[in-house]
Amino acid sequence: MRFDVITLFPELFAPFLQHGINRRAFESGQVAVHLWNPRDFAEGNYRRVDDRPFGGGPGMVMMVEPLWQCLQAVRAARNDEPDARAPVVLFSPIGQPLNHTSVERWSGSAGAVLVCGRYEGIDQRFIDTCVDLQISLGDFVLSGGEIAAMALLDAVARLQPGVLTDEGSHQQDSFNPALDGLLDSPHHTRPEVWQGPNGPLPVPDVLTGGHHERIARYRREQSLRITAAHRPDLLARAREQGLLAAADLSFLRSQGLL
């Protein structure tokens, strides 16, 4: 798959693409990332890409023409057919929240053109004319779309075959259908007993006993407990969809979580 990123700061992506476990996906070309700077398509000696907003107000707005010309260059490089063009995605506070379901959909797609806004935003005429989908990371505002673009690329890359050392790792991630959309359980590693500031803290006995069925049940119960405490909406959805087994419901009732 191929992602073309339109950004005023392509240099921010270099360390992201070259380091970390997901670099395997980028280096292998499983997830190809191409960076485009709209400043390269701006006119004049100063290559200006922003201007003051009509009607007044604080800040600057990214101009439509450099973005438009940049997008045309992207489309030419992708060689997409007009009726099968890659979707143009803008990262914006008004966008649809990025979640596991949408990440899985992107991970099996042909890619997209990712537009990273800056300043007070971009000219609405570009959005109305060119943008197919807007995505948000949550109810907060970032200085630009670069971090959001990296988040999407990271989430997509780790789902590609061979990227994670253990192929089953992502199956146990929070929100994954393998966990019925619940949160993951806690994890422990060596030392078996940690001498913490308030005394020794051992790993739960069940995890060191070697009884796989008991371990699986313990982890399921911890997943249920954590989800009930931190994301009761996920638990309610799993219950409505009939994903909780009788043992799950019994545990939740015994803990006063239902």
What is the set of active-site residues?
93, 120, 158, 173
The helix/strand/coil state of 108 is: coil
Pairing state of beta strands 111-115 and 133-136?
unpaired
Beta bridge pairs of residue 97? 136
Helix 212-230 to helix 246-254 angle (10° resolution) is: 60
Helix extents (H) in the chain: 13-18, 23-28, 64-78, 100-107, 124-130, 146-157, 205-208, 212-230, 232-240, 246-254
Q: Which tokens go with 166?
A: 């253990």
Dist CA 139 CA 134 (whole Å): 14
